[in-house]
Amino acid sequence: TVLVIDFGSQVTQLIARRVREAGVYSEIVPFQSAGEAFERLKPKGVILSGGPASVLDENAPSAPPIVFEAGLPILGICYGQQTTCLQLGGMVEGGHAAEFGRAFVEIHEPSTLYEGIWSVGERHQVWMSHGDRVTRLPEGFAVRATSPNAPFAVATDEDRRIYTTMFHPEVYHTPDGAALLKRFVVDICGCTADWTMAAFRDEAIAKVRAQVGDGRVICGLSGGVDSSVVAVLLHEAIGEQLTCIFVDHGLMRLNEAEEVVGLFRDHYNIPLVHVDAADTFIDALTGESDPETKRKTIGRLFIEVFEEEAKKIGGADFLAQGTLYPDVIESVSFTGGPSVTIKSHHNVGGLPERMNMKLVEPLRELFKDEVRALGRELGLPEAFVGRHPFPGPGLAIRCPGGVSREKLDILRQADAIYLDEIRKAGLYDAIWQAFAVLLPVQTVGVMGDGRTYEFVCGLRAVTSVDGMTADFFHFDMEFLGRVSARIVNEVRGINRVVYDVTSKPPGTIEWE
């Protein structure tokens, strides 16, 4: 085990993720309880995370002294570097607020930390956090690498195996970061790389059992990967103590509602309440074209319908949710600047308090691809596990300008053709998300001998790692031509197809 002491950085979970990728188990604990966790876990090494505070503040967070006294390998990242230096007798001076940026480090001295990865004289890209700075190193330490703005980019005490970096090895923009963290946990700390998703599954099941006891749990099922994985995991953990509620808002893709019911109720035998609330949702949305109002209306109705059903079931103590790690940090801006709401995501926020339920969130530490791996581990069919993300408000936000039953029907057909062609072309897994959008614009066309005046269908496909940024997918024109021909020929109501070549930013993935 590696102990990760969290000083509140937005990217601490990424440290844990990289350590997991290296096949090693780690536990993140807040700095306040790090001493106790250290005694309990008997870790083979410790990683000190970054954090927003300044070590110069009064009551600044610090690591428990035992961490430095135990003689174990330590890796201090950013704030972790500063507190390590300060706690071991060095000096830190104030700078400006923490901010991320690309930088290049130059390697001056060898270090066990990057042996076999970086060599003396080389320059490497890293993602640096600027804030307070170390100005004098503790005894035994020496600078190993610098960057123009960071004279202490890497400073280590090789004898005591204490390594500190001013950059963040855990983020994607430090290309060798994963290798550095692996080097630390496997080679330096000596942890065996045998941690797997199977182990996570067993731990997650044990944790759920411990949290829930003999209580009753309800879980909102949407047919998406996250809630599907939560449902199956919980069913395995607590069996009949779980009831799923599937609020069918009538905004799903073609045949999707039937597939959800078929899999969970018929195949898995999970108690499932299927609420057909299509009329409620579509009536409320009729005539509404403002994206935020649509989103809020759907969010509100979802909670109302869900709550009503939950009350009917009665006596549930817990609400299970497929919250993932990116949802936890979602609204927090990566650069530390103020964040604005681009789109209000809908979830069952507020519901647990209103109904006096506690939350069960077994996926809270995971990223999407890890959830997929866990789904496979749980034996969920590939069609569910590998499914593209689908937004809570469903097709409503893919009908800009207002929703009607007729438009939804048209959209569903076009979307199904598009996805069918993508699957046939073997491109489904190469794409993060692909979908059709029905534009509220009619244009003139000609079919046979007649004039047509019908809707425009927009096609969207993007690649992405996490949904935060995205590139439009580069289909070949043959493919797009085939999809266009099929949609125009097979779907009544569409006579023109366009492809969206906008990346995110400046576009967003969904059109609303």
Enzyme catalytic residues = 78, 168, 170
Contact 348/308 with Cβ under 8 angstroms?
no
From 393, 410, 434, 473, residue interacting with ligand XMP (rule: CB under 6 A):
393
Q: Which of residues 125-164 bind ligand XMP (CB under 6 A)?
A: none
Query: Could you tell me the CA-to-CA distances from 386 to 34, 153, 373 in Å, in that order?
Result: 37, 40, 9
Is it true that the peptide bond before 30 is cis, omega within 30 degrees of 0? Answer: no
Determine the Cα angle at 333 with ends 332 and 336, to 5°.
Answer: 110
Can you say how many angstroms the Cα of residue 39 is from the centroid of all Cα atoms in its chain?
31
Q: Least distance (Å) from ligand XMP to the CB of residue 231?
A: 16
Closer to ligand XMP by Cβ: residue 10 or 83: 10
> CA nearest 65: which of 40, 91, 83, 43?
83
From 433, 436, 458, 495, residue interacting with ligand XMP (rule: CB under 6 A):
433
392 is a site residue for ligand XMP (CB under 6 A): yes
228 assigned to a ligand binding site: yes
Q: Which of residues 48-67 bind ligand XMP (CB under 6 A)?
A: none
Under rule CB under 6 A, how many of the chain's residues touch ligand XMP?
A: 15
Distance CA 395, CA 298 (A): 11
> Binding string, 261-300, against ligand XMP, x = CB under 6 A?
----------------------------------x-----
Say how many C-beta atoms besides its own lie within 10 A of residue 96's C-beta.
8
**How is 416-452 classified by DSSP, letter by letter?**
HHHHHHHHHTT-GGG-SEEEEEEEEEEEEEEETTEEE
**Segment near ligand XMP (CB under 6 A), from 138-146, 175-183, 342-350, 364-372?**
342-350
Burial-class residue 478 by CB neighbours within 10 Å (0-12, 13-18, 19+). Answer: exposed
Contact 315/243 with Cβ under 8 angstroms?
no
343 is a site residue for ligand XMP (CB under 6 A): yes
From 271, 386, 389, 402, residue interacting with ligand XMP (rule: CB under 6 A):
389
Closer to ligand XMP by Cβ: residue 340 or 342: 342
449 assigned to a ligand binding site: no
227 assigned to a ligand binding site: yes
Distance CA 399, CA 389 (A): 17
Closer to ligand XMP by Cβ: residue 295 or 407: 295
94 assigned to a ligand binding site: no
Determine the Cα angle at 322 with ends 330 and 381, to 5°.
Answer: 125
510 is a site residue for ligand XMP (CB under 6 A): yes
**Segment near ligand XMP (CB under 6 A), from 200-208, 401-409, 444-452, 503-511?**
503-511
Q: Which of residues 295-334 bind ligand XMP (CB under 6 A)?
A: 295
From 282, 467, 471, 486, residue interacting with ligand XMP (rule: CB under 6 A):
467
For residue 77, what are the contacts with CB-CB under 8 A and spacing of at least 6? 9, 15, 47, 48, 49, 50, 164, 165, 167, 168, 169, 170
From 130, 345, 364, 376, residue interacting with ligand XMP (rule: CB under 6 A):
345
Distance CA 80, CA 456 (A): 54
User: Residues at the annotated binding site for ATP?
Assistant: 222-228
**Which positions touch ligand XMP (CB under 6 A)?**
295, 342-343, 345-346, 389, 391-393, 433, 467, 504, 508-510
